[in-house]
Structure 1
Amino acid sequence: MTIEACAELVQRGDPDRFMSAMTAPIGARENLFVLYAFNLEIARAPWVTKEAMIAEMRLQWWLDAVEEIYTGGEVRRHEVVTPLVEVIRENDLPRDLFDALINARRWDIYKEPHSDLAAFEAYIRDTAGGLMALSAMATGAGADMRPALMEYGYGVGLAAMFRAIPALENAQRYPLVDGRNTAVGELARDGLTRLNDAGIGLRNIAKPARAALRSGWMAHSVLRDVIANPALVADDGLVQSEFSKKFRLLHLSFRNRF
Structure 2
Amino acid sequence: MSLATCAEIVQRGDPDRFLSAMAAPIEARSVLLPLYAFNVEVARLPWISPEPMICEMRLQWWRDTLARIGDGETVAAHDVAAPLARVVHDRHVPMDVLDRLVVARQWDIYRDPFENDAALHDYIDATAAGLTWAAALALGAPADGEPAIRDAGWAAGLATYLRAVPELTARGRKPLPNAQPEAVAQLARLGLNRLKAARRAEIPRAAYPALRAGWRAGETLSRAHKAPIRVPQGSLAESEFSRRAGLMWRTALGRW
Q: Which TM-score applies when normalising by structure 2?
A: 0.98
Match of 1:236 in 2: 234
For 1:92, the aligned partner's letter is H
CA distance in 2, matches of 1:54, 1:236: 30
1:43-99 deviation digits (Å, cap 9, x = unpaired): 000011111000000000000000000112232220100011110011111111011
Superposed displacement of residue 172, structure 1 = 0.7
1:10–1:185 Cα change, 3 Å: same
In structure 1, the residue corresponding to 2:84 is in which secondary structure? helix
For 1:226, the aligned partner's letter is A
Match of 2:179 in 1: 179
For 1:35, the aligned partner's letter is L
Match of 2:214 in 1: 216
CA distance in 1, matches of 2:229, 2:88: 41
8 Å Cα contact 1:113-1:176 kept in structure 2: yes
Q: Identity over the aligned pairs, expressed in percent?
A: 45
User: Which structure 1 residue ranges, 4+ long, deviate > 3 Å from structure 2?
Assistant: none
Match of 2:198 in 1: 198
1:96-175 superposed matches below 5 A: 96-175=96-175
Structure 2, unmatched stretches of 5+, are none
CA distance in 1, matches of 2:43, 2:22: 21
Q: Alpha carbon RMSD of aligned pairs, Å?
A: 0.9
For 2:184, the aligned partner's letter is V
In structure 2, the residue corresponding to 1:45 is in which secondary structure? helix
Task: After superposing the two structures, state which structure 1 stretch, 207-216 or 113-122, moved more.
Answer: 207-216
Q: Which TM-score applies when normalising by structure 1?
A: 0.97
CA distance in 1, matches of 2:224, 2:157: 14
For 1:200, the aligned partner's letter is R
In structure 2, the residue corresponding to 1:77 is in which secondary structure? coil
Superposed displacement of residue 214, structure 1 = 0.7
Structure 1, unmatched stretches of 5+, are none
